[in-house]
Chains A and B, each alone.
Chain A
């Protein structure tokens, strides 16, 4: 089957705008994760869903960031009033029973 997919692959926006990043996990995977990867750094945890609920959102940097997973499958990461410092690659991963996380290709966000 298909792996984790993320759309768009690239997003360029202006400072202050609102953006939504989408993640389609592997079918049947109950756990879904969002990470942010800045240049030269490893992925940084943002939020983890188990089913529809956010089990751990301690990595969200501030209240401009929000994520939802209303039906326990697709997830959307929402960023309000974007800032230049939000520019990064946003990674999504999903996992099933085992702890291995399967990663998507990422969305490269550029805030001008």
Chain B
């Protein structure tokens, strides 16, 4: 069965500090992993996906199949990064399984 676990419901860091949002998954097939973000009063939107191997807004995430993890990292957090972050596991164009989310607060 597909399952996504985000162990931290809340994460608080100071501006300029590194941040890592954890995500672990379980899936028997070849996973497609995503990070979605929801800023205050905005809709859920894609932040990045593992197949693109890109950096968006300074965030990166590496798929570690051995540890079944897809942690989201940023070396220097900014106040505007404060938001809800959801890790998601997809199967091509089929449904997505989301984690419970982590609320990141970046303090000034």
Using CB atoms and an 8 Å cutoff, list the residues of chain A in contact with chain B: 3, 31, 33, 35, 40-45, 48, 50, 55-56, 59, 91, 93, 95, 99-106
Contact = CB atoms under 8 A, between A and B. Distances in A.
B92 A99 contact: yes
Nearest to B91: A99
B102 to A, nearest CB: 10
Interface residues of B, number: 22
Interface in B20-52: 32, 43-46, 49
B86 A42 contact: yes
21 contacts: A33-B96, A35-B96, A35-B98, A40-B100, A41-B100, A42-B4, A45-B95, A55-B94, A59-B95, A95-B93, A99-B32, A99-B90, A99-B92, A99-B93, A100-B49, A101-B46, A101-B96, A102-B46, A103-B43, A103-B44, A103-B45
B97 interface: yes
Among B6, B32, B44, B86: residue with most chain A CB under 10 A:
B44
Contact of A56 (B9, B86, B95): B95
A40 B95 CA distance: 20
B28 to A, nearest CB: 16
